[in-house]
Chains A and B, each alone.
Chain A
Amino acid sequence: MTRALDSEIRLALTRKFILIAAASSMLTACVTSRVEGVRENKTGIAEGEGVVIMAKSYHLGNETEAKFIACVGDAVGRGSAGLRVVPNNEFVDALFPWFEPRTAPAETKGLPDLMQRPGVPEKIAEKGVRYVVWLDGDTDRVAGGGSMSCAAGPGGGGCFGFAWWQNDSKYQASVWDLSGLENAGSVSADVSGTSFLPAIVIPIPLIARTQAKACKGLADQLKLFIVSDEGA
């Protein structure tokens, strides 16, 4: 009799667990995204040519996260249509001190002067860099609310409550063509999402991964933008 009751309780708990797992896998946080490009000049890339992904200078107030830059670099270099991506620290070191936060050109009109610096064109050619992609923007938490409390004791612990927050990831990538010393155009990604964290004993996070989505969207669009040989 007791054994039958035990197995019934176990079955009910298993059902409940499966139900929660299924519900959490079906429920995903809301994300809206917009990725767009503006072309100013013709692009295209030849064999052996590559790109370098850089963050705009923090001297100009830019706050782009290093992990986002690494993410875009990885994503642009990955896949069958992946481009050759030169690691930005390698590029910055090779061209020291002309791509430091203080000295990097802020606009394409600084490129002719940069190319006249001793050894700069040779080093860029040696690295095989055709495009410099300047990333600007960041991810911010713009709203949030709710409350949750957790407690733990010798017999176990648990949480109860509901929390939510909204993140906005806004990034822009400006593409500079070092062969023509011109601005090829820009690609922007604007991703907004609300994450939820309901908890009845166990917290079930429903996270809106806005930064990851912006990274993927921006990288995919950048690949198309650079490879495409459409005119302006």
Chain B
Amino acid sequence: MSTKLRACATAALAVTLGACSGSQVKLLDPTIPEPLIDKLPLSVAARYPENFAHFVHEEVVIGKEKWSIDLGRANELLFTQLFGAMFTDYQVIQQDTNPRDLAIDAFIEPTIDAFEFSVPSQSQTEEFAVWIRYRIKIFDGQGNEIANWPISAYGKSLTTTFGSDEALRRAAVLAMRDAAALVILQMDKATGISKLSAATRDPAMLADPQPAEDVTGEKVMQTTATEDPADDSGT
């Protein structure tokens, strides 16, 4: 076999294997910008699940490629920044700390319900799309669950613009920013968390909710914590 022919064969093999192999993408501690909002006058604590410190998701396109994305501690950073900007007093507690021992208005437990992404070969487009479903449980100072709120966030990015790895990374960051925007916009409407400050001082407030003003400055009157169908923006 001549040198040229061998080089061609090697190149063809490399291209073929490259097309089958997919990629491993790692998020390097992305941050969200400081939100332009007024803080809610609440003392809040949160506890993160273990996978917030290291979250890896794999997606296998049958017979074609295997993609994995390592979010690292991106979720931990996201919620720390987000809730730190939303509440006047915010702390993250460890697994062994009992929130009832703390003088707080509310206790929050965010978790990841689901993480999915699609790659161009699946969607037959040039885009990567990422869907993240978080669940946010909120408890009052006495440990009573007052809200169980699922939120769906979505981000997409074109592969032609950023290259495959960067496009998937960007889609994931956009999905996390989308989640942050959704929490800022709707958390108080959906969960009524702002009423907990008054309720801590006067528990009767919870039984007789008054219109509260959310972080976006809008008057709200909502105490249920059901999923908003409009949250499923990715579908």
Contacts and interface: CB of A to CB of B under 8 A. Distances in A.
Interface of A: 58-59, 65-67, 93-98, 100-103, 116-120, 123, 152-154
B36 A66 contact: no
Contact of A97 (B5, B154, B158, B185): B185
Contacts of A98: 36
Q: Is the interface of A mostly helix, strand, loop or mixed?
A: loop
A97 B161 contact: no
B178 A100 contact: yes
Given A94-B33, A96-B177, A97-B185, 16 more contacts: A59-B154, A66-B162, A95-B36, A96-B32, A97-B177, A97-B181, A100-B177, A100-B178, A101-B178, A102-B178, A102-B181, A102-B233, A103-B181, A118-B37, A120-B36, A153-B5
Given A96-B36, A154-B2, A66 B181 contact: no
B4 A118 contact: no
Contacts of B33: 93-94, 96
Interface residues of B, number: 29
B63 interface: no
Contacts, number: 59
Contacts of A123: 36
A67 B177 contact: no
A23 B8 CA distance: 32
Interface in B139-178: 154, 156-158, 160-162, 174, 177-178
Given A97-B184, A118-B38, A154-B2, A67 B233 contact: no
B165 to A, nearest CB: 16
A94 B33 CA distance: 7
Contacts of B154: 59
Given A65-B158, A65-B160, A66-B158, A101 B174 contact: yes
B217 A116 contact: yes
Across chains A and B, which 7 residue pairs bring their CB atoms closest together, nearest first? A97-B181, A96-B33, A119-B36, A66-B161, A93-B33, A100-B181, A154-B2
